[in-house]
Amino acid sequence: MLWTFTLLLFCIRLSLGMTSMAMESQAELWIESNYPQAPWENITLWCRSPSQMSKKFLLLKDKTHMTWVHLSQKTFQMSFFLGALTESNAGRYRCCYWKEKGWSKPSKILELEAPGQLPKPILWIQAETPPLPGCNVNILCHGWLQDLVFMLFKEGFAEPVDYQVPTGTVAVFSIDHMTPEKEGVYICRTHIQMLPTVWSEPSNPLKLVVAGLYPKPTLTAYPGPIMAPGESLNLRCQGPIYGITFALMKLEDLEKSFYHKKPIKNEAYFLFPNLNIQDSGHYICFYYDGSYRGSLFSDILKIWVTDKPPKPTLSAWPRTVFKRGKAITIQCRVSHPVLEFSLEWKEKATFHKFSVDGDFIITNVEGKGTGTYSCSYRVETHPNIWSHRSEPLKLMGPAGVLTWDYILNEALKLSIIIQLAALLLVLLWIRYKWRRFRIREAWFLGTAQVFTMLFIVAALLCCALSLTGLCNGVLTEQTEIIVPTPKPELWAETNFPLAPWKNLTLWCRSPSGSTKEFVLLKDGTGWIATRPASEKVRAAFPLGALSQSHTGSYHCHSWEEMAVSEPSEALELVGTDILPKPVISASPPIRGQELQIRCKGWLAGMEFALYKEGEQEPVQQLGAVGREAFFTIQRMEEKKEGNYSCRTHTATLPFKWSEPSEPLELVIKEMYPKPFFKTWASPVVPLGDRVTFNCSAPHQHMSFILYKDGSEVASSDRAWANPGASEAQFFIISVGIGDGGNYSCRYYDFDIWSEPSDIVELVVTEFFPKPTLLAQPGPVVLPGKNVTLRCQGTLKDMRFALLQEGTQVPLQFKSASGSSVDFLLHTLREEDSGNYSCIYYETTMSNRGSYFSMPLMIWVTDVFPKPWLFAEPSSVVPMGQNVTLWCQGPVRGVGYILRKEGEATSKQLWEFTSNDGAFPITNITSASTGHYSCCYHPDWTSPIKIPPSNTLELIVTGLLPKPSLIAQPGPMVAPGENMTLQCQGELPDSTFVLLKEGIHAPIKLQRPRGYRADFWMPVVRGEDSGIYSCVYYLDTALFVASNHSDSLEIWVTDKPPKPSLSAWPNTVFKLGKDITLQCRGPLPGVEFVLEHDGEEAPQLFSEDGDFVINNVEGKGIGNYSCSYRLQASPDIWSEPSDPLELVGAAGPAAQECTVGNIVRSTLIVVVVVALGVVLAIEWKKWPRLRTRGSETDGRDQTIVLEECNQEGEPGTTTNSPSSTSQGILVEVPAPM
């Protein structure tokens, strides 16, 4: 078996302050011999207990032979003498020792091979700090002998990545700072220092992967996190991935509380049947897949096992001091679900408030809200037990009329002025003293440096606090659903039958399209190699000529980015004269029904034979049908029961036979009827969709199992079902690439099983191009007739499915050797009308399918409506432009005919992809104008007569002068009023056409006697609003029209649409600068008015919409809006614009700096106090300095030394500070 580990399991303890995950109870086994002189002559195996002494030790060989020793006194280790290594004592050894209540965990397996070869080492990992990605990993290689040379190899590298020569039997290889680049497959080998040609076999492969790649799960407690001693508790760990293993840990005791659990769907339950006080603590969970890639940890869940719940926390928002007219919200909080909260008031014993969410609103009317509060709660599992009370919280009344914000803002302004003044005074004082006294003492320089650093630190802190809170972000965690890979297929290829064993290659193929690489294993643990996946999702492992070293059992895995598959079926190579042993399987036999027995071989071109125990001759034989064969028992009865096996043999003489397969027992058992199995939605789904399988049984209290392609993938235990449940649901939260396949379910009760359910084919779409779906003879069908739907794909050897809109299950399935298939619909009725579509998919790659075809409308009717003809973009087209005439029928897939009045010929079109036919006319001229109509036919041979469409007049413009268009009484009217649009042309005896933007056909036509047409629009409505234009053409030259008039926009509304309001250059006043507000509307000829909040009537009017605003005495700040009225309708005003706020230079954010002001003010006060202290100290020193200055001769030839002791010649007096204070001065000559 391939050993793969993940850093997660070994870094868990370290991330929580632990040191190791190793089981201390496991025994240790090693070898001692006459190394290196005669390493195989005198062998002794030693077994040692790592933690405790024992009297009993047990040595096991190949799981069958046991040797045990019972000692009179306890010891830590025991020896087992083997003597010289021979074929008889070679094998696999393990040992264990007796503990107080049973045998310990066996040691690691020691494989002793034939003499001349070192034992195969064992490779595993041990993690160090820190955890997860970036974790330091120690790889341990156990070589069984001392003083060997250990080599560590990584797949893909010819040279070893590291080597060690340890003094013991174990070498430690360190990989620092584990990253994805250091992932890979590692092995180790050993050799003797004196004999470098004597090597061991490669160790087991060790694949290192970085953990923490999956999203964290959620951990919840049922019935709740607070329980009483003796009660039962379920901890539910739920992750987003289907079919993974969950683990639960208690942080206070990781050594004894590490639980593993197989999932139910995508979750696992950890049961604590009888709680005690020691079960209280903090729990976390995680999950990992088959390759031990693990998730992040869940959030910590605290469990209390107590008779009384713990106390909650109590806080006040926004603060604990009432403001005038404002309320305070008291928030009572705990970290687990609560049934109800209770609030108590110390000053009033009868006061009680209850809340579900823990929020209590307290008002301070007449000062009655102040006082001390506390809260408690109760949980749903124990509704009669209230928790401990929270810590008390005191609410206080308002501070007075002056608010803290006002006081702190004023204090900030004053403190800044004081700080600047103090800084200026200090600088002047330093300058004065420097010039007056030329003081050069060290304390002065130190004082100056302290002041400088204080101001720098204060400035930096103020800047940092100003930036606090500017960047607030929201992290959105996205979750990705990953489904484990299905098991691959393994087979052999060779030059059979010419040289069958000269060039043998094993192939591994995955049904998942996202497979990245394959690994081949021998005898469960012997690693062969890994290969990357090809485009056909398979990989070849060439073995060459078959020899004795190649014999054994092989299987392969497929690896994706974040999952590893189950192993393939085992392929056994037994020698050059015997073919590999086949594998036999069958579904449970059902009385009276057909049964298929599958025999899977490993080479192509073989023949198959089925045998029954007790009969010499084969029951059935099949010819060369590929690598597998299916034997059919037509009707299963008692006489057909028994043990069956199958064999394969070559197709030509002399036959070469395989070994018989493992026996398959067929026994008819009493069974429940098959369950009803379905999906809640359609089984044809795209990637990422959710799929729910529902398996229901006619009996209650059953356990259910879900199968995919014959293999069990999930189960539902009745212990977790609702009482009386007779169904189970299986979820795939997000369908992945490998989730497609054939699903079924069964249910059972103890030893009685049900029959398998009907198969549901789950198809995952959007992998291949969409097919086309056609109806023959056509999509319009008379009732009682048949129609054939042909689905044409792009790939061969696919399976097709036909679907109808509104039905969940596909109507028909068909497999085809070509790229198309025909679905026959018999004797259609009117209710069979609807949209049909089809897909195709491959059955060998997890039912990966194509996109859906375009829907095809099948219309079953004997009544046919006439089509509709329209022009796009309009039936009035400028000269030289293009136009398309559309004939719209009821369904797609019919034939269309376009006719023009006065022409004998017509245009025909058969449209398969839409329900309308397009007839384009390019570079239109006067010859293209006229009356058009169209019709459609279900098929060209149908005798059905369908009436023609409406008549369309196609008009070409640009040949006459353009008219003018005006509205009376104006372009804007109220709903319900009348309006007249006047189109004025330049030629008499013309036909006028009124057009509206967005409508293909003319609105109205009129033939007046003069030069003008009046289009009267009575009782207009809102939908009459729009952009209008008109053209005209002469009666003597029909459909040859003028240019379009200028566009005219018509508004039908009680209130004109609101204008927009903007500010230039911006909305913030600068000192001495004005702001221009710009009001813009959609209509011309209007008057604008500007309104300012706080003023009763607007005072600013403008015809161009520009208003200049100044901020004299702060009167320009506030919210503005504008509106307008038409000059033709002065009584109708538009809706006001959206408000626009003008602010001062500081903006409204200056009022939200209370916290920053407090901190800044505190810093300023500290700096000012420090300055005052320093000034006071210096002021006290001034009289002394003046005294010393008066005793000098006024020349700068001496320096007064007060605090520095000078070392002179012998006999020289040294002046101390005390002597200086008594007036004794020492003058030292100083050069000019």
Lowest mean pLDDT among 85-89, 557-561, 834-838: 557-561
Question: What's the pLDDT band for 1153 if we cut at 50, 70, 90?
Answer: very low
What is the tens place of the pLDDT at every residue in 796-807?
A: 889 999 999 888
Buried b / exposed e across 711-723, counting CB within 10 Å, b at 16+?
eebbbbebeebee
Report whether pLDDT(789) > 90.
yes
Single-letter amino acid, residue 186: Y
- Which among 476-480, 511-515, 760-764, 904-908 has the top mean pLDDT? 760-764
Report whether pLDDT(1226) > 50.
no
Q: In the β-sheet with 916-921, what is the strand arrangement from edge to edge? A: 868-872, 883-888, 916-921
Report whether pLDDT(653) > 70.
yes
pLDDT, position 169: 82
Lowest mean pLDDT among 79-83, 1026-1030, 1039-1043, 1177-1181: 1177-1181
β partners of residue 1092: 1120
pTM over 0.75: no
pLDDT, position 1183: 57
Residue 810 · residue 681 · CB < 8 Å:
no
The percent of residues above 70 in pLDDT, for the chain, comes to 76
pLDDT, position 1206: 41
Of 480 and 375, more confident? 375
Handedness of CA 625, 626, 629, 634 (dihedral sign): negative
For residues 597 and 577, give the distance between their C-alpha atoms in angstroms, rounded to a whole number: 26
Question: Helix 1154-1191 and helix 404-437: axis angle, to 10°?
Answer: 20
Question: Helix 442-467 and helix 1154-1191: axis angle, to 10°?
Answer: 170
Report whether pLDDT(356) > 80.
yes
- Which among 58-72, 128-142, 160-174, 929-943 has the top mean pLDDT? 160-174
For residues 119 and 31, give the distance between their C-alpha atoms in angstroms, rounded to a whole number: 10
Lowest mean pLDDT among 273-282, 315-324, 1069-1078, 1157-1166: 1157-1166
Strands 328-333 and 245-250: unpaired
What is the tens place of the pLDDT at every residue in 268-297?
A: 888 888 888 888 888 988 887 665 667 788
pLDDT, position 658: 85
- Which parts of 309-441 are beta strand (E)? 313-317, 328-333, 340-345, 348-355, 359-362, 371-378, 393-395
Of 477 and 590, more confident? 590
| Phi, psi for residue 793 in degrees, rounded to 5 | -100, -170
Of 431 and 1136, more confident? 1136
Report whether pLDDT(576) > 80.
no
Of 258 and 201, more confident? 201
pLDDT, position 677: 92
- Which among 295-309, 337-351, 449-463, 670-684 has the top mean pLDDT? 670-684
Average pLDDT estimate for 981-997 = 89
Residue 96 · residue 106 · CB < 8 Å:
yes
What is the tens place of the pLDDT at every residue in 1100-1120?
A: 788 888 988 887 767 788 889
Q: Work out the burial of residue 1028: count CB atoms within 10 Å of its CB; fewer than 13 is exposed, 13-18 middle, 19 or more buried.
A: buried
Single-letter amino acid, residue 236: R
pLDDT, position 1187: 47
Report whether pLDDT(215) > 80.
no
Of 1227 and 831, more confident? 831
Question: What's the pLDDT band for 1067 if we cut at 50, 70, 90?
Answer: confident
Contacts of 109 (CB under 8 A, 6+ apart): 92, 93, 94, 122
For residues 140 and 154, give the distance between their C-alpha atoms in angstroms, rounded to a whole number: 14
What letter does residue 956 receive in the DSSP assignment? E
Mean pLDDT of the chain: 76
Lowest mean pLDDT among 497-506, 580-589, 657-666: 497-506
What is the tens place of the pLDDT at every residue in 127-141?
A: 533 335 567 788 889
Average pLDDT estimate for 554-564 = 72
The percent of residues above 90 in pLDDT, for the chain, comes to 8
For residues 830 and 877, give the distance between their C-alpha atoms in angstroms, rounded to a whole number: 42
Residue 159's CB: how many other CB atoms inside 10 A?
7
Residue 68 · residue 104 · CB < 8 Å:
no
What is the tens place of the pLDDT at every residue in 600-616?
A: 888 877 889 999 998 88
pLDDT, position 1208: 40
For residues 176 and 388, give the distance between their C-alpha atoms in angstroms, rounded to a whole number: 50
User: What does the angle CA 1111 – CA 1114 – CA 1119 come to, to the nearest 5 degrees?
Assistant: 80
Of 171 and 1187, more confident? 171
User: What does the angle CA 424 – CA 428 – CA 432 come to, to the nearest 5 degrees?
Assistant: 170
For residues 654 and 656, give the distance between their C-alpha atoms in angstroms, rounded to a whole number: 7
What is the tens place of the pLDDT at every residue in 855-864?
A: 888 888 877 7
pLDDT, position 409: 58
β partners of residue 955: 876
Contacts of 229 (CB under 8 A, 6+ apart): 275, 276, 277, 305, 306, 307
For the record, the structure tokens of 651 come out as 């197709």
Report whether pLDDT(999) > 70.
yes
For residues 144 and 93, give the distance between their C-alpha atoms in angstroms, rounded to a whole number: 11
Instruction: Name the residue among 130, 125, 133, 268 with its Cα closest to residue 212.
Output: 133
pLDDT, position 609: 92
pLDDT, position 700: 80
pLDDT, position 1096: 62
pLDDT, position 820: 92
For residues 355 and 370, give the distance between their C-alpha atoms in angstroms, rounded to a whole number: 20
Q: Work out the burial of residue 478: count CB atoms within 10 Å of its CB; fewer than 13 is exposed, 13-18 middle, 19 or more buried.
A: exposed
What is the tens place of the pLDDT at every residue in 2-52?
A: 333 333 333 444 334 333 333 456 888 888 876 666 667 778 888 888 877
pLDDT, position 821: 93
For residues 283 and 250, give the distance between their C-alpha atoms in angstroms, rounded to a whole number: 4
Residue 184 · residue 154 · CB < 8 Å:
yes
What is the tens place of the pLDDT at every residue in 1187-1219?
A: 444 444 444 433 333 333 343 444 444 343 333
pLDDT, position 470: 32
Lowest mean pLDDT among 227-236, 257-266, 550-559, 887-896: 257-266
